[in-house]
Structure 1
Amino acid sequence: YRRPRVGLLTTGDEVVSPGTPLPVGKIYGSNQMLLAARLAELGFEPETAHRRDDPAAVAEAMRELLEICDVLLTTGGVSVGDKDIFHQALPLLGAERIFWRVNLKPGTPAMYSVYEGKPILSLSGNPFAAFTTFELLARPLLAALSGEEGPRWGEGVLDTPFPKASPRRRFIRGRYENGHITLPEGHASGMLASLVGCNCLAELPAGSPPAEAGTRVRILLLE
C-alpha cells in the first residue's frame, strides 16, 4: 500500500492563527494544530488550509486539496446553524454525501462524502468532538487506506465516577494504567486542557446512567 496523502481543512470566521493577537470575538484555531500534530504522530504529513465561512471559497479549497491528496479531513461547518456551510459547499464541489450525523457524543454532526472516488470526512468544530471523531472515524479510515491495523480496543475499570447519564453512546477522556481508568476534571467538548496526559477514550453505551466508580467499560487506546 502507498501511504495516503491527507488534506486538512479547517473553517470559521471566528478562527485566527495561534501566535497572532486575538481580536474581540475571535478564538485561536486549535483544531488544525491538534489534528495536524496527531496525524504527524501517526506518520502522515497533512496539507493544511483554512477558510472563512464562505461556501464557494470552502468548495474551491476542497477541490484544490483533493487534487493533491487522497483523503480530506475538515472541521467545522457541519451542524445546523447559519454558519454550517458544508451543506452548501459540498454540492458546489460536486461531492456525494454518504451520511450526516452519527449517534454519538461528542461529535454528532460528523459527515462523510465522496468526490471523484476520494473520501471527505467532515468533523465537528468543537475541539474535543473533532478529536474524538478523528480517533473513531478517521483513524480506521486512514488505517484501511494504508493497509494497516486500526486502533486497538481494551477494557478497564473506572476509578473515577462520571456524573452524567448518557442517552446516546458517549466517549470520555481518561488515563488508563494497569486495568484502571482515572478521569480528569472537565469534559466539555470545547475543552482540550483536560486531555493532557490522557491515553484512552472510555465508552459509555447509549442509555447508561451516571457511571459509578468500579464500572467496567470498553476503551479505545490512544497510541
Structure 2
Amino acid sequence: MISVEEALDFLLDNARGLDTEYVSLGRLSGRVCAETVHALTTQPPFPASAMDGYAIRFEDAQQGNALKVIGEAPAGKSYAGCLKKSEAVRIFTGAMIPAGADHVVIQEDVERQGADIIIREKQHQQRHIRAAGIDMQKGDILAEPGTTLHHLHGSVFAAANIPHICVYKKPRIALFSTGDELIDPGSDLEPGKIVNSNHYALTALIDHWGGIGTYLGCARDTEDDIAILYEQGRHHDVIVPVGGASVGDYDHVRSTFTQLGGNINFSKVAVKPGKPTWYGALDRTNVLGLPGNPASAIVTACLFLQPLIRALAGQTVPERKWHIGKLATDLPANGRRENYLRAVTETDRSGNILLHPAEGQDSSLLKPFLSCNALIRRKPNSEKLQAGALTEFMTLTRSS
C-alpha cells in the first residue's frame, strides 16, 4: 500500500492538461482560464457624468449664479463644443463630459428658467464626474491562466471589450459500476440484490468539480461485460470503474484492465475507507478505480478524483490545507491506515468549530452523508483523542 499523499502526488504528476477552446462570456462560470486576459479598452473610456444634471465649470458654481444652457449631452452622444464662462450643458448619467467642464450640478440643485439655470444649492466641491479608467485601464490583467472563472467574470470581460475567452476543456469522466447484485432504483428487490446508488452521487460531484460525468452503465461480473465498458470509455479523459477491485473470485475489473493493455501504477492506498483504490492508464486515458462500498467511493472521490479533475482542467491544485476543529466526543486510537471520519460541524458561541463524528462509520453507510459536512482526518497510528482535543478536518464536498 502507498500513502494518501504518495497516491495524490502520483495522480497530479501524471495529469496532462487538456486542450483549450473559446467560449462565450455567458458560459464562463466554473471554467478555467487558459490565457492571460488583458483589458482591450479603458473603462470608462472617457470622463462620464455620474448623475443627471448640468455640466459646468466649478468656478461658475456659486450659489445664485445664472448659467446659459448651450446644449445637451445624452448618453451615447457627446456635446462637440467647449464650455466657456457662465455656460452649462444639460447632461445625463453616463454621458461624456463636455470639454471645459469639471463639475456636474445635479438637477435637484438648480432651477430652470427658460434657457438659463439658477444654482440654488451651494456646491462644496467638484463632484459627479467619473474619471476615464477608474474601473480599468487598457492592458490591465483581468485573469491569469489557471484562474477559475465565476459568474461575474463575463460582465468584467465584456466591459473590457473582450468577446470570448480561451479556457481549458472540461475533463470528460466515464463512470461505470460492476456487480451481478446491483439493480436499478424502483426494481423488485429479489434475495441477494441491492440497489445501485453510487453513480448518482459521483456523477453529480464530477459535474460540481468542473468535469463532465457520463455514466456508462453497470457491468455484470464477467470480463467480457467489463471490457465493453472500458472500450466505451477509451475516448474520455478519465475512466472511473466503481467496485470489483478486491480479491474475490468475481472481481475482474483490474484483470480485464491489464488484458486490454492497461498499466497499473498503484493498486492499494493506506486509507480508511477506500483501501482498494487504484490507478493506471489505458493508452492516454487515466483510470482511477474506486471501491464499491458507498462511503469508500465518495470519500476516495473527494480525496483523489476531485484534484485529478482540477489538474486536468488546468487549475493549479494547491496543497491540501487542513481546517482545525475541536472534537465534541472522544475518539479511539487509529490504526495504520489514514482514516477519514464523517462528521457534522457546529460553531460555538466563541467561534470555535466543534466536530461531531457520525455514530456509524461503516463503509457501506450512505445515510450519514445527508447531514455530515466534514471529514475528520486521523493520521496513521495516532493516539486516542479526548473530547475538546484539536484535530484536522476537511470540508466534505456536497454538490448543490
Matched, 1:39 2:206: yes
Q: Which runs of 4+ in 1 moved over 4 A?
A: 149-152
Q: Report the alpha carbon displacement of residue 39 of structure 1 after superposing the two structures with TM.
A: 1.9
State which drifts further: 212-221 or 121-130: 212-221
Quote the residue 2:220 is aligned against.
Answer: 52
Matched, 1:159 2:159: no
Letter of the 2:181 counterpart:
E
Q: Out of 10, 18, 22, which is 2:189 matched to?
A: 22
Q: Report the alpha carbon displacement of residue 83 of structure 1 after superposing the two structures with TM.
A: 1.8
Matched, 1:170 2:339: yes
Matched, 1:182 2:182: no
* TM alignment of 1:30-109, pairs within 5 A: 30-48=197-215, 49-67=217-235, 69-109=236-276
Q: Tell me the TM-score normalised to structure 1 length.
A: 0.92
Q: Which runs of 5+ in 1 are unaligned?
A: none
Q: Report the alpha carbon displacement of residue 182 of structure 1 after superposing the two structures with TM.
A: 1.4
* TM alignment of 1:206-217, pairs within 5 A: 206-217=380-391
Secondary structure in structure 2 of the residue aligned to 1:191:
coil
Matched, 1:219 2:393: yes
Root-mean-square deviation (CA), in Å?
1.7
Q: Report the alpha carbon displacement of residue 149 of structure 1 after superposing the two structures with TM.
A: 5.1
Q: Report the alpha carbon displacement of residue 152 of structure 1 after superposing the two structures with TM.
A: 5.5
Q: Report the alpha carbon displacement of residue 128 of structure 1 after superposing the two structures with TM.
A: 0.3
- Native 8 Å contact 1:172 1:202 kept in 2: yes
Q: Tell me the TM-score normalised to structure 2 length.
A: 0.53
* TM alignment of 1:5-20, pairs within 5 A: 5-20=172-187
Residue-by-residue CA offset, 1:155-188 (whole Å, 9 max, x unaligned):
2121122346333210011122432211221110
Letter of the 1:207 counterpart:
N
User: CA, structure 1 residues 79+4, in 2 after alignment: closer, same or farther (shift >3 Å)?
Assistant: same
- Native 8 Å contact 2:210 2:310 kept in 1: no
Q: Out of 348, 358, 371, which is 1:197 matched to?
A: 371
User: CA, structure 1 residues 51+65, in 2 after alignment: closer, same or farther (shift >3 Å)?
Assistant: same
Q: Out of 108, 112, 115, which is 2:282 matched to?
A: 115
Alpha-carbon distance in 2 for matches of 1:185, 1:164: 16
Alpha-carbon distance in 2 for matches of 1:131, 1:19: 22
Residue-by-residue CA offset, 1:37-58 (whole Å, 9 max, x unaligned):
2223334331112111111221
Secondary structure in structure 2 of the residue aligned to 1:40:
helix
Alpha-carbon distance in 1 for matches of 2:388, 2:344: 15
**Total equivalences in the alignment:** 222
Q: Report the alpha carbon displacement of residue 74 of structure 1 after superposing the two structures with TM.
A: 1.4
Alpha-carbon distance in 2 for matches of 1:207, 1:59: 39
User: CA, structure 1 residues 205+27, in 2 after alignment: closer, same or farther (shift >3 Å)?
Assistant: same
Alpha-carbon distance in 1 for matches of 2:341, 2:284: 33
Higher helix share: 1
Larger radius of gyration: 2
Identity %: 32
Quote the residue 1:141 is aligned against.
Answer: 308
Secondary structure in structure 2 of the residue aligned to 1:82:
coil
Alpha-carbon distance in 2 for matches of 1:52, 1:211: 44
Alpha-carbon distance in 2 for matches of 1:44, 1:50: 21
Residue-by-residue CA offset, 1:70-113 (whole Å, 9 max, x unaligned):
11111101111112212321122211111100111110011101
- Native 8 Å contact 1:152 1:221 kept in 2: no
User: CA, structure 1 residues 166+213, in 2 after alignment: closer, same or farther (shift >3 Å)?
Assistant: farther
- Native 8 Å contact 2:209 2:309 kept in 1: no
